[in-house]
């Protein structure tokens, strides 16, 4: 069984690798320059069933394995971080339904996300409640068969384009995190205003938005779990999604290393390729070793998720922390290898360096990852 699963996983990864290099890589620079949401890549993922990798077969998916998804995300991120985020965030928006939804909600909505017919978003962060989710000010009050949402969410990936948005709101402000509840909100709901955010340093083609809720009515049947289950659902989702951001970071770093290696073999100085100079060889060796170490940690975290290992929380935080810090260092070193050429957008490593930075910030800053890890180690 394990051998069959590994063969299937490698077949999926190989197919996505070919797709990434043939169809996505030629679009990466244009996506970055224009800052436009890449609907053509969305359609490509729909046509190729790539979104389905994140979801279990019983709900219209192909795998549902965290490890398989991480390998797919890495392959895509090695050529285009924005395109990889399309896959990671579709999973992020689907995980609350998978973890906290009823069987009817799962069978209704997960196949829509697995096929890519519907686009998902995950709305937890607020302007004054990013790392401190318990400080959220978005409120949900019961009104007959509905809930009425008031408040706002900030930095929401897919916020402007999502068909379904998982929104976390407080139904009992006095209870802190125990008063948070999750809702599945239609992106076209009356009382919901979506404001796109432009001018980002990296992942420029990814849609990022502020969401404003003004007496936004949500049917009670779209509540995920019971009142007060929201924080538990949110943290369970982050345990699953953080290794995928680690995988995105790995892909960005791997793409930068691949380009730097090719450049170093061709660039001539002092009558020979710069790859023959030991100082540069040591830099490239460190880049490769650090990426491989981070990859092992990301895969270990994914295996823990897939097997239900109790260490999944700390491993997920470690994977996200180490992989994103590694991506930032490797991409910065790749720019250094290319010298002046690395500093201009004619070459992809400057884009990769800009894209790498966000992996240290979203899904919980790396400072928060260290808090999570320390808390688990000291428990």
How many Å apart are CA 70 and CA 53, to the nearest integer? Answer: 10
Q: In this predicted structure, what is the pLDDT of residue 60?
A: 97
What CATH number is given for 231-378 in this structure?
1.20.140.10
Tell me the residue length of the chain: 379
> Helices marked H in 308-365 — which ranges?
312-338, 349-358
Spatial separation of the C-alpha atoms in residues 140 and 144, rounded to whole Å: 13
How do the pLDDT tens digits run along the chain, 379 residues long?
566 778 889 999 999 999 999 999 999 999 999 999 999 999 999 999 999 999 999 999 999 999 999 999 999 999 999 999 999 999 999 999 999 999 999 999 999 999 999 999 999 999 998 888 888 999 999 999 999 999 999 999 999 999 999 999 999 999 999 999 999 999 999 999 999 999 999 999 999 999 999 999 999 999 999 999 999 999 999 999 999 999 999 999 999 999 999 999 999 999 999 999 999 999 999 999 999 999 999 999 999 999 999 999 999 999 999 999 999 999 999 999 999 999 999 999 999 999 999 999 999 999 999 999 999 999 8
- Residue 62 in contact with residue 49, Cβ under 8 Å? yes
Considering only CA atoms, which of 226, 199, 289 is closest in space to residue 253?
289
Between β-strands 164-170 and 180-186, what pairing exists: parallel, antiparallel or unpaired? antiparallel
Residues 6+ apart with CB under 8 A from 81: 202, 203, 248, 251, 252, 352, 355, 356
DSSP E strand stretches across the chain? 120-123, 139-143, 146-157, 164-170, 180-186, 192-196, 208-219, 223-224, 268-269, 272-273
pLDDT given at position 5: 75
**Per-residue confidence (pLDDT) for residue 351, from 0 to 100:** 98
Nearest to 358, CA basis, from 333, 323, 334: 323
Instruction: Determine the CATH number of domain 2-115.
Output: 1.10.540.10
CA 55 vs CA 51, 90, 93, 109: distances in Å: 8, 10, 11, 11
Q: Where are the domains of the chain?
A: 2-115, 120-226, 231-378
Shortest CA distance to 89 belongs to which of 139, 18, 160, 8? 160
Radius of gyration for the chain, computed over Cα atoms and rounded to the nearest angstrom = 21
Around Cβ 274, how many Cβ atoms within 10 Å? 18
Rounded Cα gap, residues 270 and 274, in angstroms: 8
**Longest alpha-carbon distance in the chain:** 80
CATH fold of 120-226, please? Butyryl-CoA Dehydrogenase, subunit A; domain 2 (2.40.110)
Would you state the pLDDT for residue 6? Answer: 84
Active-site residues: which are they?
A: 363
Check: CB of residue 164 under 8 Å from CB of residue 184. yes
Instruction: From 281, 256, 231, 243, select the one nearest 332 (Cα to Cα).
Output: 256
- Joined tokens for residue 190: 């009356």
């Amino acid at each position: 069984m394990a051998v069959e699963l590994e063969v299937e996983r490698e077949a999926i990864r190989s197919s996505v690798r070919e797709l990434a290099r043939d169809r996505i890589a030629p679009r990466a620079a244009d996506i970055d320059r224009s800052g436009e949401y890449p609907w053509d890549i969305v359609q490509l993922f729909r046509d190729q069933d790539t979104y389905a990798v994140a979801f279990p077969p019983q709900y219209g998916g192909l795998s549902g394995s965290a490890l398989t998804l991480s390998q797919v995300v890495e392959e895509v991120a090695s050529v285009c971080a924005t395109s990889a985020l399309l896959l990671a965030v579709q999973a992020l928006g689907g995980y609350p339904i998978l973890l906290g939804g009823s069987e009817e909600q799962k069978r209704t909505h997960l196949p829509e996300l697995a096929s890519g017919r519907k686009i998902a978003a995950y709305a937890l962060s607020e302007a004054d409640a990013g790392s401190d989710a318990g400080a959220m000010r978005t409120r949900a009050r019961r009104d007959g068969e509905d809930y009425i949402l008031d408040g706002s969410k900030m930095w929401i990936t897919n916020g402007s384009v999502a068909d379904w948005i998982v929104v976390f709101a407080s139904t009992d402000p006095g209870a802190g995190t125990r008063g948070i509840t999750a809702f599945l909100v239609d992106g076209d709901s009356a009382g919901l205003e979506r404001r796109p955010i432009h001018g980002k340093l990296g992942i420029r083609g990814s849609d990022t938005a502020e969401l404003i809720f003004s007496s936004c009515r949500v049917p009670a049947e779209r509540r995920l779990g019971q009142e007060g289950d929201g924080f538990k659902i949110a943290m369970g989702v982050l345990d699953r999604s953080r290794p995928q951001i680690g995988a995105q970071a790995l892909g960005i770093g791997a793409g930068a290393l691949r380009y730097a290696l090719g450049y170093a073999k061709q660039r001539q100085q002092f009558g020979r390729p710069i790859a023959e100079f030991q100082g540069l060889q040591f830099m490239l060796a460190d880049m490769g070793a650090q990426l491989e170490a981070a990859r092992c940690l990301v895969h270990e975290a994914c295996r823990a998720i897939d097997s239900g290992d109790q260490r999944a929380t700390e491993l997920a935080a470690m994977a996200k922390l180490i992989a994103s810090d590694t991506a930032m260092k490797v991409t910065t070193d790749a720019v250094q290898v290319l010298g002046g050429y690395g500093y201009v957008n004619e070459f992809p490593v400057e884009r990769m360096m800009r894209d790498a930075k966000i992996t240290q910030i979203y899904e919980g800053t790396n400072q928060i990852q260290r808090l999570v890890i320390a808390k688990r180690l000291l428990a």
